[in-house]
Amino acid sequence: MTLIAQKIRITGLVQGVGFRPFVYRIAVFNAITGWVANDNLGVIVHAEGRPTNLEAFIVDIKTQLPAAAHLRSVEITSAEFQNFTSFDIRKSDSYNDEVTEVSPDIAVCEDCLADMERQPHRLGYAFTNCTHCGPRFTIIKALPYDRFQTTMEPFALCETCDKEYKDVLNRRFHAQPVACNTCGPQYHIAGLEIGFEAIPVFISKLIDEGKIIALKGLGGYHLVCDATNEEAVKRLRHNKNREGKPMAVMMASMSKVEQHFEVNAIERKALESWQRPIVLLQNRTALAPSVSNRMNTTGIVFPYMPLHHQLFKHLKTPAIVLTSGNVSDEPVIIEDEQALQNLSSIADVIVTYNRKIHNRADDSVAMEAAGVMRIMRRSRGFAPSPITMNLPVEGIFAAGAELVNSFAIGKGTNAILSQHIGDLKNTETLAFYEEAYEHFSALFRFNARWVACDLHPDYLSTRFAQKMNLPLIGVQHHHAHIAACMAEHGLDEKVIGIALDGTGLGNDGTIWGGEFFVCDLMDFERKLYFDPVPLPGGDKATEEPWRTAVSYLYLYFGPDFPFHEQAFLKEIPPEKLNLLLQAIQLGINCPLSSGAGRLFDAVAALTGLCIHATFHAEAPMLLESAIETGCKSKYLFEIEDKRIVFMKLFYLIMKDLKNQVPVSVISAKFHNTILTIILKVVKRLSQDSGLKKVVLSGGSFQNCYLLSNSIIMLQEQGFEVFAHENVPTNDGGIALGQMAIAAKRIQKE
């Protein structure tokens, strides 16, 4: 029987996920000799053996890969036969500037949890990991992925760990963060002499007693308290200066989750996935009321670090709040010094550990809509997995937007989105943005040649882009939204694009956000849009929805409308209202906005649900939470020229309010009206253009009712509907759209 040799080049997410040991094992199993190595393109294998064995070997590579690994391509070419007698794993080789993928962090696996109870050197060891699990992105400083290029570098392997690390048949073979009680990082409590063994018992007791704990996590500090203790949750909110925003909750048992929340098979799968996102679930019976405040959903996450599992062994409460360790809207804290300084006033105890976090990563957030899981915040567990594009994007830096910013760098045909950065309005977040860009440039050896950014000159991301002194490609905000969704689905053609969004600068200098486009990646036509309304006070209107409500009433019913008699304005001082009416009348600081978010704001204000917003998008979220789902009726609207006019909608809402129709019904009728608008406009645009593909994007599609029903309704009418899955529909996805548009324009040049 003749033996042959083959070179197998494997690309995808194949580093830091136990891929080489996996290849080794199946090589031995299939009687293959040769070697496997990491390089900057991915993994390369030189395989020798009988042709049938080689075939089986390749099938095994493709079908039995480790959970977190993901293959992009497997290329097989014949190679020179060298008569290898064994199969070896070769050292990493760094030879060119093409860089492969960096694994996101992976939740601790079952085997490691078991090892914490049976391996003498890992008894109760809270940093147990293996090639299938553990920290990755958050500790990686450079590629190739080797221990000395991570923040594990100061921890020299003990003899036992070293043996495991070098034993090809061991699960920890070449697991870069491998460690044990003798040699690895440990938790400690600031200012207290408590051995690491006692920490889980100690802090679970404190949590059950209603205390607040600051706990160093994988991608940053968390603040933790009993989610069933209203006093504790209230105190945490107060201390953190976070009055309104819902907080995520960690639970460890699916049956307990099912007691408190509605959870379907898709949500269950996401909760248990190795990425461990926070999954938004419908409330059934409340935990402490202050956890999700007035929202009808709660974000639930399963334990993903060994210590989380240890805590739930001792905790009496089934649920703990797990919110980011920061003050208000600043980035989550990763430095131990800063944690001591800033979190001491919030938490009763600070639990830390002596390994550095290199890349900050918040918990990711996902939501199920129309049968598909959809990322709302893309960070731990997802970043920096690339999105494969249809176009070359090498050298393109996409700066992103302003709110919930995330940027993207282009490598080959991969767009690599940064982790969730946050709102670039405070200096701390901007510093995080700049630091993350430096980290990404170093990690992926990225050299920017073009810069894509938003048209808004005041976005700090735009200013950062301008300072790079490279060819600048300005991209309209909502065109970027639609393009992001197109890129995600590999679309490069004319589509009907619907961007329902908060704010974004339009080509005409006004604020856009209720947009119906016919567009492709090159350009767009603004076919129809929500009737623009003056926003008294500009940005202030987004924080005070009552202003926008007054403005709509003024727009449609004029200055003689009895503003002072409106129930929703009873807490607004009359002088303040008069000033606002004057400003509207004179057009002082009243930029025009067609933003869908503002329309939702106005209706939330009119119904008394939200007069003042305590956080971004609170009003639309409360309006959605109020929906009477059984109600199928709706209000009326008109289309005048290109404008979708809401005069009848507001007239009928006012009438319903007068007749004391419940807010839940008004909210349902309002949402159903928006759905009707979408259907009517799509039908019209499809008739005119012959297009059948509809792309949905923009922050308003975080609204689950709106998104699910839009998809189902349009599909029923024979349209092919594309909505976001792997990148956020909010401004966190903008960078991907900017990159797609820039790539297209560069290609056409």
Interface contacts to Fe ion, rule CB under 5 A? 501, 504, 731
Cβ neighbours of residue 207 under 8 Å, at least 6 residues apart?
A: 213, 224, 225, 226, 311, 315, 317, 320
Whether 164 and 179 have beta carbons less than 8 Å apart is answered as no
Least Cβ distance, residue 400 to Zn ion (angstroms): 34
Q: How far is the CB of 90 from Zn ion (least distance, A)?
A: 24
Report DSSP letters for 411-450, one per residue.
Answer: ETTEEEEPPP-B-TTSHHHHHHHHHHHHHHHHHTT---SE
Closer by beta carbon to Zn ion, 275 or else 405: 275
Asked if residue 480 binds Zn ion (CB under 5 A), the reply is no
Edge-to-edge strand ranges of the sheet holding 4-13: 70-78, 4-13, 42-49, 33-39, 87-89
Q: Is 133 in the site for Zn ion (CB under 5 A)?
A: yes
Given a contact cutoff of 8 angstroms between Cβ atoms, the answer to whether 60 and 8 are in contact is no
Question: Is 47 or 133 the residue whose CB approaches Zn ion more closely?
Answer: 133
Nearer to Zn ion, 112 or 653 (CB): 112
User: CB 615: neighbour CB atoms within 10 A?
Assistant: 15
Cα(92)–Cα(35) distance, integer angstroms: 12
Strands 387-388 and 414-417: antiparallel
- Which range in 12-20, 173-181, 435-443, 579-587 contacts Zn ion by CB under 5 A? 173-181
| Interacting span for Zn ion (CB under 5 A) from 75-83, 145-153, 160-168, 341-349 | 160-168
The binder of 731, among Fe ion, Zn ion, none, by C-beta within 5 to 8 A per type, is: Fe ion
Comparison of 67 and 645: residue with beta carbon closer to Zn ion: 67
Q: Min. distance of Cβ 311 from Zn ion in angstroms? A: 18
Query: What's the min distance (Å) between Cβ of 62 and Fe ion?
Result: 39
Contact between 109 and Zn ion (CB under 5 A)? yes
Q: Least distance from C-beta 374 to Fe ion, angstroms?
A: 16
Segment (H or E) for 475: strand 472-475
Rounded to a whole number of angstroms, the minimum distance from the CB of residue 133 to Zn ion is 3
Residue 4 binds which entry of Zn ion, Fe ion, none, CB below 5-8 Å type-dependent: none
- Contact in structure between 269 and 375 (CB atoms under 8 Å): no
Neighbouring C-beta atoms of residue 288, cutoff 10 Å: 21
109 binds, among Zn ion, Fe ion, none (CB under 5 to 8 A by kind): Zn ion
Give the whole-angstrom CA distance, residue 142 versus residue 13. Answer: 16
Cβ closer to Fe ion: 348 or 501?
Answer: 501
Beta strands 297-301; 249-251: pairing state = parallel
Q: Are 400 and 734 in contact (CB under 8 A)?
A: yes
Q: Binding Zn ion by CB under 5 A: which of 41, 71, 158, 468?
A: 158
167 or 571: whose CB is closer to Zn ion? 167
- CB of residue 302 to Zn ion, shortest distance in Å: 15
Is position 253 an interface residue for Zn ion (rule: CB under 5 A)? Answer: no
Residue 183's binding partner out of Zn ion, Fe ion, none, with CB under 5 to 8 Å set by partner kind: Zn ion
* Residue 186: CB minimum distance to Zn ion, A: 12
Which one-letter DSSP state was computed for residue 104?
P
Task: Decide if residue 71 touches Zn ion (CB under 5 A).
Answer: no
Measured between alpha carbons, how far is 150 from 412 in angstroms, rounded to an integer?
25
Q: What are phi and psi of 29, to 5 degrees?
A: -60, -40
Sole window of 154-162, 289-297, 463-471, 669-677 interacting with Zn ion (rule: CB under 5 A): 154-162
CA angle 300, 228, 352 (to 5 degrees): 70
Tokens representing 384?
């920096």
Residue 161 interacting partner from Zn ion, Fe ion, none (CB closer than 5 to 8 Å by kind): Zn ion
Report which residue's Cβ sits closest to Fe ion. 501
Q: Which is nearer to Fe ion, 701 or 719 (CB)?
A: 701
Among residues 140 and 347, whose Cβ is nearest to Zn ion?
140
294: phi then psi, degrees, rounded to nearest 5: -95, 10
Structure tokens at 288: 């402490």
User: Which CB atom, from 158 or from 639, has the smaller least distance to Zn ion?
Assistant: 158
d(CA 379, CA 332) in angstroms, rounded, equals 12
Contact string 111-130 vs Zn ion (x = CB under 5 A): -x-----------------x
Q: Does residue 161 touch Zn ion according to CB under 5 A?
A: yes
Q: How far is the CB of 188 from Zn ion (least distance, A)?
A: 18
Task: Give which of 522, 529, 480 is closest to 508, Cα–Cα.
Answer: 529
Smaller CB separation from Zn ion, 65 or 408: 65
**180 forms part of the interface with Zn ion (CB under 5 A):** yes
d(CA 328, CA 349): 19
Per the CB < 8 A criterion, the answer to whether 198 and 186 are in contact is: no
Cα–Cα distance measured from residue 140 to residue 104, given in angstroms and rounded to the nearest whole number:
10
The total number of residues shown for the chain amounts to 749
CB of 730 to Fe ion, least distance (A): 7
CB closer to Fe ion, 580 vs 734: 734
- 76-84, 133-141, 233-241, 557-565 -> range binding Zn ion (CB under 5 A): 133-141
Site residues for Zn ion per CB under 5 A: 109, 112, 130, 132-133, 158, 161, 180, 182-183
